[in-house]
Amino acid sequence: MRRRGAILHWVLFCFATAGTDWARADTASVDASLAGWLDQWQLKYQPAPGPDLASEACAPTTVVNAMVYLQNQYPEIYGTNLAGTNQTNYWAQTAVLLAGPNYMKTDPHVGTVPVVNLTLGLRSFLSARGFASTRVSGMLPQGTTNGLVNELIGPLPSDYVEGLPTFDYFATALRGGSPVTLQILYEGQSVGHNVLLTRVDWTGSGAGATGRMEFIDPLDPAHYDTNGFPVSLKVTPGMVSILPSIFLTNTNGVVDTLSNVLALDYQQYKGELPYDGTNYEQTTALIGGATIMQVPEPRVVPLVLLAIASIIWFRVWRRNRTEG
């Protein structure tokens, strides 16, 4: 996603933040091998009407990679009815559909903005596919002094928590088998991005705490063949630290402040396809929000039905045996 007219300035104060919930060492993950590995640049090869969305399609591309995970993790629920079969062209077609005017309204110049377009579009898509019971929730900051964060994000959707994501928030989602889409903002820029979180490791406490994340970046989600086309999944690692305070400054010089923000630092691919293997740049971004697709008790219903069927079968068998 992109948003112009707001510039991010980060100031790291040299004091510890007491009372945060990031103190303990811990880890949480989902099976990354089940996720999709669609490259957002693939969208430029789709025969869709309208302008080329590839450079701004990180949100729908990441959501497709998350939906592939749901299909593989819960095949008894989704089959291949979210993103299509595990072939890149089907995934790309789904991403183009998601990016369109009926769902996320991704703009070829500014991306998927405000962030709530991702949420509302995803909910509409899931409902259209018959999966309205899949809960779309998340965490986003709201209500800063001058309303700048609200401008970047839009009205807070239902099932969203006001605030910035914490390690415990990510850990709960990942341990529940839910894919997590991270919304990040680049340091000193009015540009954002979306990636699919697969693992978090955390140690330390306060402002000195550090961690590590693994995620699938739609700019670089795969290993590529000699022609520059994706052939298998690639997971990107990044280092995480806590910024006790950051400033958000708009073009009029009005400043908003956010506290205890997670900052992600990683090597990001800056090229396009065909993949050249060398065009990387160290990138720093803050984690400004998260979107989660949660399947309500996905394994419980089949087990309950199996138990009921077993009881009925046993009663019929015992009755037949008695009558015989």
- CB-CB contact of 56 with 111 (8 Å): yes
Nearest to 262 by CA among 194, 219, 207: 207
Residues in CB range of 89: below 8 A, 6 or more apart: none
Q: Give the pairing of strands 135-140 and 160-162.
A: parallel
30-51 confidence digits (pLDDT tens): 999 999 999 999 888 666 555 6
pLDDT attached to residue 51: 67
pLDDT at 298 over 50: no
Kindly indicate the confidence band of residue 284, based on its pLDDT and cuts at 50, 70 and 90: very high
pLDDT at 7 over 50: yes
Q: Does residue 61 or residue 276 have the better pLDDT?
A: 61
Q: Parse the chain into domains and list their residue ranges.
A: 6-296
CA distances 251 to 6, 255, 273, Å, are: 6, 10, 34
Q: Give the pairing of strands 180-186 and 160-162.
A: unpaired
pLDDT attached to residue 48: 55
pLDDT attached to residue 299: 47
pLDDT attached to residue 297: 64
Kindly indicate the confidence band of residue 99, based on its pLDDT and cuts at 50, 70 and 90: very high
As a whole number, mean pLDDT of residues 218-226 equals 93
pLDDT at 170 over 80: yes
Kindly indicate the confidence band of residue 252, based on its pLDDT and cuts at 50, 70 and 90: confident
Q: Does residue 67 or residue 252 have the better pLDDT?
A: 67
Strands (E), 145-254: 160-162, 180-186, 192-203, 210-216, 222-224, 230-233, 236-250
63-76 confidence digits (pLDDT tens): 999 999 999 999 99
What is the DSSP annotation of 232-296? EE--EEEEEEEEEEEEEEETT--EEEEEEEEEEEEEEE---SSP-S--EEEEEEEEEEEEEEE-S
As a whole number, mean pLDDT of residues 98-115 equals 93
pLDDT at 249 over 80: no
Q: Does residue 263 or residue 47 have the better pLDDT?
A: 263
pLDDT attached to residue 186: 87
